[in-house]
Structure 1
Amino acid sequence: MSKVIDYYLTLISPWTYLGSQRLAEIAARHGAEVRVTPVNFGEVFPRTGGLPLAKRAPERQAYRMMELKRWRKHLDIPINLEPKFFPANDRLAACMVLAAAETGGKPLELAQAFGKAVWEQERDIADEDTCKAIAQETGHDAEALLAKAQEEATQKRYDKQTEDAIARGVFGAPSYVYKDEIFWGQDRLDFLDRALSEG
């Protein structure tokens, strides 16, 4: 494929989840490849001027909740506004997504399933058994994927992708990069769609 979208995400972002299906549809329509690239935004935020949710001003937290309600209604996606297992350490799940990409699996589908687990199903993606179950549900060999995710090389790749994301100018999730142009946020998907239409 000549069109490639680098998709920088964290699996626990509601915005990542809200945009995930539309991204898949846009990419399919344009015949574009999506390189699913989970990164550690716990490292990205302090180095790019961002703050984790708990440290943001009350006004910003309140507006975030208002926007989540708007987008939930607009997209008709039944997300829980305050899920039971949020925030969660998504490192293992992220490395399983990387492992799926490296072994011919379905990384985009797996990433979507992890997002759904957090935002719709009240499941803890920091839990190894939960991660294995989700991998199995998406048609992967859960044990093999887990073993690959836990390899030192996969762990190092996750860390390197985080560094690479910062070097490219990524500061928030989700970010879609096409031809070195960053589209930050699921509310920028229309602009990504137009860029793909232009070639």
Structure 2
Amino acid sequence: MAHIDYYFATISPFTYLSGTRPAEIAAQHGATISYKPMDIMGLFARTGGVPPKDRHPNRQEYRLQDMRRRAALLDMPLNLKPAFWPTNPAPSSYAIIAAQEAGGDVAALVANLTRACWAEERDISQDDVIADCMKAAGFDPDVANKGMMTAADTYARNLEDAVASGAFGAPFFIVDSGERFWGEDRIADLNAHLAGKL
């Protein structure tokens, strides 16, 4: 049985555009998946990346075009410049880590939180927004509060694991076969790999 480490950032538009597809593909192939939210700005700093605001204007303009096109192809609403971005990704990440530990539909929670940021103009660093997203995914919001200290340690470790495993962006999928896939637009390649075609 294959295993996927899914490194992502709750403030990443391409994590949002991934939706629940990673979980659906894993289920289709009988693979397991570990959700590893991480500090994307920390990852950029460690692996030669540049935060969007510091990129050359050509890159900034292309990023917005690419986001718009990908959202249109996926038929997903997307605010190119959401009101609450960037925001502190740690609280939403802690909630995901705690929810994964508790068990349940983590894919739905990731989708809810990223949609709140990129399509609903909500600040995912706020407790009430996180609680709403958790409830909508079937989790008791108290799970996040109870697991906060452990989640903080795991969040920091996820960044270290991402760097050590070869990740440099989000979303980033690493299969236990050693194959790595970067970006929402490589989910189809991940699917093909799990199917034995790549």
Shorter-chain TM-score bucket reads over 0.9
Equivalences for residues 151-162 of structure 1 within 5 A: 151=149, 153-162=150-159
Task: Report how far residue 66 of structure 1 moved.
Answer: 0.8
Q: Which residue of 2 aligns with 1:61?
A: 60
Residues in 2 aligned to 1:39 and 1:58: alpha-carbon distance in whole angstroms = 26
Alignment of 1:102-117 (within 5 A): 102-117=101-116
Shift of 1:145: 2.4
Listed as ranges, the matches of 1:18-97 within 5 Å are 18-97=17-96
Give the corresponding residue for 1:176. Answer: 173
Conservation of the 8 A alpha-carbon contact between 2:98 and 2:143:
no
Q: Which amino acid counterpart does residue 181 of structure 1 have in structure 2?
A: E
| Structure-to-structure mapping, 1:120-131, within 5 angstroms | 120-131=119-130
Match of 1:140 in 2: 139
* Post-superposition offset of 1:32: 1.7
| TM-score (ref. length: structure 1) | 0.94
In 1, Cα distance between equivalents of 2:70 and 2:51: 21
Q: Per-residue CA shift, 1:88-125, capped at 9, x if unaligned?
A: 11101101100011111322211111011111111100
Alignment partners' CA distance in 1, 2:145 and 2:153: 15
Q: Give the CA RMSD over aligned residues.
A: 1.3
> Are the counterparts in 1 of residues 20 and 107 from structure 2 also a CA contact under 8 Å?
no
% identical aligned pairs: 38
Aligned residues: 196
TM (norm. structure 2) is: 0.94
2:192 matched residue in structure 1? 194
Partner of 1:97: helix, strand, or coil? Answer: helix
The offset of 1:139, in angstroms, is: 1.2
- Distance in structure 2 (CA, Å) of the matches to 1:44 and 1:171: 6
8 Å Cα contact 2:116-2:124 kept in structure 1: yes
Task: Tell me the CA shift for residue 20 of structure 1.
Answer: 2.4
